[in-house]
Amino acid sequence: MTNLNKAAITAVGGYVPETILDNAQLEKMVDTSNEWIVARTGINERRILSNPEKATSDMAAEAVKNLLASSGINPAEIECLILATSTPDKLLAPTAPVVCDKAGLTNAWGFDLNAACSGFLYALSVGSSLIESGRHKKVLVIGADAMSRIVDYTDRNTCILFGDGAGAVLLEPSADYGLQDFILKTDGAGSEFLSIAVGGSLNPFHEDTLQERQHFVRQDGKTVFKNAIAGMTGVCTEITDRNTLAAEDIDWVIPHQANIRIINAVADNLKMPMDKVKVNIQRYGNTTAATIPLCLWDFQADFKPGDKLLLTAFGAGFTFGSSYLVWGN
């Protein structure tokens, strides 16, 4: 009997809102310039969920519907949905059940997972374990974030970086292909360098903190930058060593899209030529948990069965990780 003990990505879907926020528009909002943003981040434009009646669940549901339509999978067959997000529709209740409802997944249970920009990798690891254990045969893993809802558009240190979007993958059992290995890490000492100070159990909302705009994302960009390069380089080196893979054995690197200079530095450290590294940051900015699945969605036509992919992410927490994936199903 064939041993179907790996979880393969068998379908991919994505969604980005129609509204574009480009660098020229940001020049009118904060003291910045197109030249500075392109040179320092590699970003030209981002998508914004401009409809105030829509939220993360709507983008996630659209990504799921896109996946189901392109793969012909019946929504009733989906057994579990894991939603990686830092921007749930509400602090309480969870957003995953809303996504199941909006996408017509009548038989799925689901939950949210918050690991910031590493959320998709963490969720992929949990989802693949559900497949490997034999407990489930069809698990959806989504990365979705409406960053425009938590970004301060008067703060030039953050507002130029982020955008909105959602990406989804379907995991199914496979004998030959799929997710081979994960290295996932956290460093809670980094928590203060990228966070929203107010609104959680530590500092509940208060009118004073609202005036001080503390309900928006704040970061120490330089510290995050340095840790992102070191963190992603470390976990990529560890996972390639553990799987006896040389740089030339890897066909594609799918890095979290935070800053083109971070991506270039990690690729350089890994001696990975940039033509193997997938980049779409120029069009979407940093969509937090959605960057990796949006890359898989954008570039899936380039991946051949048997191609070896290296996924890596770094985010608030700090959280970081890598995954080694053999494409195909």
Pick from 13, 14, 16, 41 the residue near ligand COA by CB under 6 A. Answer: 41
Residue 250: Cβ-neighbour burial (10 angstroms; 0-12, 13-18, 19+): buried
CB of 77 vs ligand COA, minimal distance in Å = 34
**Binding of residue 178 to ligand COA (CB under 6 A):** no
Task: Tell the smallest beta-carbon distance from residue 175 to ligand COA (Å).
Answer: 35
Q: How far is CA 9 from the centre of its chain?
A: 15
36 binds ligand COA (CB under 6 A): yes
Listed in sequence order, the residues at least 6 apart from 270 whose beta carbon sits closer than 8 Å to its beta carbon are 233, 236, 237, 240, 247, 253
Q: Residues 6 or more apart from 34 whose CB is under 8 A from it?
A: 23, 24, 27
Site string for ligand COA, 308-327 (x = CB under 6 A): ------xx------------
User: Does 256 qualify as catalytic in the annotation?
Assistant: yes
The interface region with ligand COA, picked from 77-85, 130-138, 221-229, 238-246 by CB under 6 A, is: 221-229
**Where do the H-state alpha helices sit in 75-139?**
96-102, 119-132
231 binds ligand COA (CB under 6 A): no
Nearer to ligand COA, 42 or 97 (CB): 42
Q: Which of 23, 66, 259, 286 is catalytic?
A: 286
DSSP state of 253: E
Active site annotation includes 117: yes
Name the strand (E) or helix (H) holding 231.
helix 221-242
294 binds ligand COA (CB under 6 A): no
Q: Hey, which residues does 46 pair with through a beta bridge?
A: 21
Q: Which residues contact 184 (CB under 8 A, 6 or more apart)?
A: 118, 121, 122, 125, 235, 319, 320, 321
Q: Count the residues of the shown chain that bind ligand COA, applying the rule CB under 6 A.
A: 21
Active site residue 206: no
Pick one of 9, 16, 82, 117: the residue that binds ligand COA (CB under 6 A): 117
Identity of the residue, 41 or 180, whose beta carbon is nearer to ligand COA in the bound complex? 41
Q: In terms of CB distance, is 32 or 300 closer to ligand COA?
A: 32
Nearer to ligand COA, 39 or 274 (CB): 39
Place of tokens 């390639």: 240
Question: Smallest distance, Å, CB 35 to ligand COA?
Answer: 9
Reading the block at residue 140, the tokens are 């959806």
Q: Look at residue 250 and give its three-state secondary structure.
A: coil
Which residues from 140-159 bind ligand COA, rule CB under 6 A?
Answer: 156-157
- In the block, tokens 């990798």 appear at 121
> One of 117, 159, 236, 295 is an active-site residue; which one?
117
Distance CA 100, CA 162 (A): 26
Residue whose Cβ sits closest to ligand COA = 221
Nearest distance, CB of residue 18 and ligand COA, angstroms: 24
Taking each helix axis from N to C terminus, what angle separates 260-269 and 34-41, rounded to the nearest 10 degrees? 20
Side chain identity at residue 26, one-letter code: L
221 binds ligand COA (CB under 6 A): yes
Partnered with residue 295 across adjacent β-strands are none
Nearest in space to 165 (alpha carbons), one of 317, 17, 329: 17
Q: Which residue in the block uniquely carries the two structure tokens 């928006």?
A: 216
234-263 residues in contact with ligand COA (CB under 6 A) are 258-259
Shortest spacing between CB 313 and ligand COA, in angstroms: 8
Q: Which residues in the 270-289 window bind ligand COA by CB under 6 A? A: 286
3-state secondary structure (DSSP) of residue 268: helix
Catalytic residues: 117, 256, 286
Q: Which spans of this chain sit near ligand COA (rule: CB under 6 A)?
A: 32, 36, 40-41, 117, 156-157, 160-161, 194, 219, 221-222, 224-225, 228, 258-259, 286, 314-315
